[in-house]
Structure 1
Amino acid sequence: MKLTKFILPAALVALPSLGLAQEAEAAAPGFDEIGPYIMTTLLFCMAGFLVFFMAAGFAMLEGGLVRSKNVTMQMTKNIALFSIAAIMYWFMGFNLMYPGDFNGYVGTFFSPTVLDPVGVAAADAALDYASVGSDFFFQLVFVAATASIVSGALAERIKLWPFLIFTIVLTGVLYPISGSWKWGGGWLDGIGFSDFAGSTIVHSVGGWAALAGAIVLGPRIGKYGKDGKVTPMPGSNLALATLGTFILWLGWFGFNGGSQLAMGTVGDVSDVSRIFANTNMAAAAGSIAALIMTQIMYKKPDLTMVLNGALAGLVSITAEPLAPSLFGSLLIGGVGGILVVFAVPMLDKLKIDDVVGAIPVHLVCGIWGTIAVVFSGSATLTAQLTGIVAYGVFTFVASLVVWFILKGVMGIRVSEEDEIMGLDMAELGMEAYPEFSRG
């Protein structure tokens, strides 16, 4: 009786709190609600890590394909350009590129990205997409890849600081403005232009900027003779260049797979896996196509062409890595590998000196890959050509203007003496391989 006297009041007191606990438990979202948000955020983070690692791939590829007296300069440029891209995309690039709300052309200038902690209500409202932080990071690593393309093409004769200033303009202004035309919901998106992961938006933009710089900068001393003869200038370390290519190949799974932009359903996950398979097939086809073509044309396989063939296949499939079949991906990548073999000597005939073959790989194959989207039926040729021309004219002309301004104000090319000595000692005062004689 005495026990009941105490238990009953205690139970009455506990009932309201028990009810509140049950209501809270009922209100908590289950995995079916939060799962898509979690999985897509995870996709952005993991894919972003892979694309970030491509910075190492670009550094190793360029370090292997330049002469030993210029390796330290390439390493310096690559770590600096990524850091600049990260800061500039935070400072203005991200909000300039998204949502493309100024007449469908550009977003907001000088608007630093803010990643404040969000409340429960705000988080719940975003459950059908992903965290802003993961989206920002994933988009950031793409702009850094664009700048890396320029670095390799202009190697061995450009001054460090003018290059870094150009990187500020490219990553903070040029890339975000043009990127907003499609990915920011701008005018090219409105006419049906299709570029899944950036054959044009990323790769050809980098290629156009590199082409403009190579024209203004001029070729390396001794590269082209008066009789039109091309003097080979072998790189310092083909093993390093091969490692860089494999790193880029790996990073491309994040580049293309992450561009699915969703991993919250069975269909999304299945699509990501198809993208991986198609991406890999295109790279393999590009390398084999280049291998065969160099054997036919030069009677011996050329490893540098084979490496660029793999990258050419990757760039070619980037505009649409989901829709094609594996056989279609093989054809798209294989054509890219063939194009590179012909584009490299074509540039030499025009006396445009591209040290690592970035323009054939990223510009030529970026254009090809964007056109190839038509074969999958997801875009019209008119829309694709409009996008190619728009990105080409804007990026090439704007880049030319910036390069000419830099040339006039501070000069962009090292002196003849410094170029012959090597940029490592002339610009930085240190060598990558101090135990070996400079060559």
Structure 2
Amino acid sequence: MDEIFLMNNVWIIVCFALVLLMQGGFILLEAGSTRMKNAGHIAGKTIFTVGIASLVFWAVGYGFIYGEGNAFIGFSDFFYGDFDSVVDGLAGSVDFIFQLAFAAIALTIAFGGFAERAKLSAYIIFAILFSALIYPVVAHWIWGDGWLAGLGKQDFAGSTVVHLTGAMAALAATIILKPRIGKYNKDGSSNDLAGHNQVYTALGVLLLWVGWFGFNGGSTLEVDGAFFGYVALTTQLAAAAGAIAAMLIVTMFTGKADVPTMLNGALAGLVAITASTAFVDPWAAVLIGIIAGFIVYFSMLFFDKAKIDDPIFALSVHGVCGIWGTLSTGFFATPALAEMNGGLAGLFYGGGFTQLGVQFIGVTVSGIYAFVVAFIILKVMDKVMGGIRVTEEEEIIGLDLSEHGSYGYPENLKSPNDKEEQPGA
């Protein structure tokens, strides 16, 4: 068996493990960004929804994306089980498991819009439907043999496919679920329902940062030529620039180097470079990260002013910066890298508005599709289930106790007969 073939497969399995480890980063990020009365719930729902996403992706998701079909959807390879096929120079099973990890990440991003107020049953049902009807369709359009791929849409590792798709589903959820109790006052002012552990949040961001080298680097799908090293370089530069830019902008406007904003700046840079990492020069990666760091700060303020309660900042980090990252290739894609990785050169390299136009069409249609389908699904669920939000009493108690019957921090739990408010409420 060819040595390069074996090395490629080992590399992608390692990258799969790195992307799967990002779920641990999301657990710490989301738990740290919310109140301690919901920490166990957030950790637990992440694990079982990754399980649901895996089974649905095996049953239909992979087939909808990569199966033979038409420009809209695939119709083969359901209940995937090939052991001797070769796909994109990889063993079919290796390609499958790597793509599965991306589907699970998109779902986890979507659940940012559910945080601290959705029923456990809502997570279960939506996980199935998102993994079957939303993510695979967008992924087929861009990464499968879909119509956006035919136009030359550039999205190397998923600023649109993964991040924007998840964020638009999160937006639908935040609108239907409405803000958390106590988030907004009658006069329209906002209260800071601060997360309970910034150390968890920072560690979560670091785990995500490390996992991103599997996310972006693994999307090369090969070790030959070591192009994954270049992808790692642009990824690192954008993340670093995003963190610094966000810290500077929040300090300039508030006088304080706000830690959550700085952390979101790093994630913003990572999300933005995900589409363009294989298409741009290092200086452009730095600029893309800087702009993402600025954008994420003002986006967070905008959504809060609009009374859209987004505890994990999924809309700003993954949605707005996912859009910027996708459009950035239309500006900065170099002729040589565009030719090597697909698509045309960007506007600033003499490519005109063609690629930028394709990028714009891609993010617009993909975002609208993800939002509309997610909104319809959640609205129907809300009617059929008698509501997808927990009761006011359950929300005040916390989802750890009301949904799971156990507390994420049991040493802080008072006697069950104690009628005082639980810690973190």
State the TM-score, normalized to the length of structure 2. Answer: 0.90
Query: 1:127 and 1:357, CA in 2 relative to 1: closer, same or farther beyond 3 A?
Result: closer
Q: Residue in 2 aligned with 1:63?
A: 31
* Secondary structure of residue in 2 paired with 1:181: helix
Moved more, 370-379 or 380-389: 370-379
Aligned-pair CA distance for 1:288: 0.5
1:146-169 Cα distance to aligned partner (Å, 9 max, x none): 011122232111111112210111
Structure 1: gaps of 5 or more residues: 1-28
CA–CA distance in 2 between the matches of 1:383 and 1:76? Answer: 40
* 1:324 aligned to which of 280, 296, 300: 280
- 1:346 corresponds to which of 281, 302, 312: 302
Matches within 5 A, 1:123-138: 126=86, 129-138=89-98
Q: CA deviation at 1:360?
A: 0.2
Distance 1:421 1:385, change over 3 A: same
Task: Measure, in 2, the Cα distance between the counterparts of 1:273 and 1:291.
Answer: 27
Deviation of residue 52 (structure 1)?
A: 0.5
Structure 2 letter corresponding to 1:47: C
- Please tell me whether the aligned partners of residues 163 and 412 of structure 1 are also in contact (alpha carbons under 8 angstroms): no
- Aligned to 2:82, which of 115, 127, 145? 115
Which residue does 1:366 correspond to in 2?
A: 322
1:191 and 2:166 aligned? no
Match of 2:408 in 1: 432
* Misfit runs of 4+, over 6 Å: none
Instruction: Give CA-to-partner distance per residue, 1:14-40, whole Å, 9 cap, x none.
Output: xxxxxxxxxxxxxxx6xxxx1231122
Asked if the contact 1:37–1:128 (Cα under 8 Å) also holds between the matched residues in 2, the reply is no
Partner of 1:46: 14
Contact 1:36 1:128 in 2 (8 A): no
Q: If you compute each CA radius of gyration, which structure gives the higher value, 1 or 2?
A: 1
Native 8 Å contact 2:69 2:76 kept in 1: no
State the partner residue of 1:179.
Answer: 139
TM-score (norm 1): 0.88
Q: Distance in 1 between matches of 2:400 and 2:154?
A: 42
Matched residue, 2:114: 154
Amino acid at match of 1:91: A
Letter of the 1:423 counterpart? L
Q: Give the superposition deviation at 1:178.
A: 1.4
**Structure 2 equivalent of residue 210 of structure 1:** 170
Contact 2:87/2:95 (8 A) holds in 1: no
Match of 1:23 in 2: none
| Partner in structure 1 of residue 351 of structure 2 | none
Is 2:296 the partner of 1:355?
A: no
Q: Secondary structure at the match of 1:185?
A: coil
Cα 1:128–1:376, aligned 2, differ >3 Å: closer, same or farther? closer
Number of corresponding residues: 395
The correspondence for 1:408, drawn from 383, 401, 418, is 383
Q: State the superposition RMSD in angstroms.
A: 1.4
**1:223 has 2:186 as partner:** no
Amino acid at match of 2:406: M
Aligned 8 A contact 1:36 1:127 in 2: no
SS of residue in 2 equivalent to 1:435: helix
> Which residue is equivalent to 1:393?
368
Shift of 1:325: 2.1
Residue 198 of structure 1 deviates from its aligned partner by 0.3
Pick closer, same or farther for the CA change 1:227–1:94 going to 2, 3 Å.
same
| Match among 234, 254, 258 for residue 302 of structure 1 | 258
Identical-residue share of aligned pairs (%): 41
Deviations 1:342-386 (A, max 9, x none): 001100111110001111000000000000001214441111011
Deviation of residue 128 (structure 1)?
7.4
8 Å contact 1:77–1:151 — kept in the other structure? no
Q: 1:114, 1:97 → 2: CA distance?
A: 16
Separation of aligned partners in 2, 1:415 and 1:345: 28
**Using the alignment, how far apart are the partners of 1:95 and 1:84 within structure 2?**
16
